Each structure stands twice: as structure tokens, then as C-alpha cells.
Amino acid sequence: MKKAKGIVEPGACGLKVVIEAELDDQKRLNLDFHSACELVTGMQDEFKNVNWKKGIFSKMLDSYIYKVCSEHLTHPDCPVPSAILKTVQVLVGAAVEQEVTMKIVKVTEE
């Protein structure tokens, strides 16, 4: 069984998310979410025994990952959907393990 993990420090909400991804012997994807965010943990059942190809090679609006997340997450700026996608890509060998950083700052003119 293959495994990968993604860790999200989302920012303003302060609710860290740990994504644990497994690919079983039949190439079915299973995700577990560990977080104080009930919106994220509430979508856990929809990421059990999933065909992993449904979410990582599609256009964003056709992605199973983004569709499920859009039904559960209330903030469109939440970085969790992207982190799920990256974690699954690493799991299946479609991407290399790499840290991703996003820093947003307000710029004021003087």
C-alpha cells in the first residue's frame, strides 16, 4: 500500500489540516483528514474507495476533488482542495514531493 501526507497551515482560520492518502492494492484512493475544521472532516466519507484518476488529470471544474470540496467548504479561498490534489499527485507518482508556499501581504502606498 502506498501512502502520502499533506499538511496545510491555512492562515486566517488557524485550523491546521493533515491529509493522509493511501492507495490500496486495487488502486483505490482513501483519504483521511485530521483537523478541527468540521467542514474538512465532514467530507471524509466521500474520499473513501475512490478512483484516483477522477481528480488529478481533469480540468478544475471537472475534478472530483474540487467538486466534493465545493459542496462542503464555504470559503472559495481555502487551500485544502489544492493540497488534496497535490498530495494525491505525489501518492500516485504524478508529481514530485515539494513544499508549496503561499504568502499574501497587503501593500500600502505612502
Sequence ranges of the domains in the chain: 2-92
* Banded pLDDT at 55 (limits 50, 70, 90): low
CA angle 85/86/87 to nearest 5° reads: 90
Percent of the chain exceeding pLDDT 90 equals 74
The per-residue pLDDT of the chain, averaged, comes to: 92
Predicted confidence at residue 12, as pLDDT, reads: 86
This prediction's pTM = 0.91
- Cα separation, 27 vs 5, in Å, equals 17
Taking residues 90-99, report their average pLDDT: 93
Q: What is the CATH number of domain 2-92?
A: 3.90.1010.10
Q: Which of 67, 66, 74, 70 is nearest to 38 (CA)?
A: 74
* Banded pLDDT at 11 (limits 50, 70, 90): confident
- Cα separation, 43 vs 28, in Å, equals 17
- Cα separation, 5 vs 86, in Å, equals 10
Q: How far is CA 92 from CA 3, 40, 105, in A?
A: 9, 22, 34
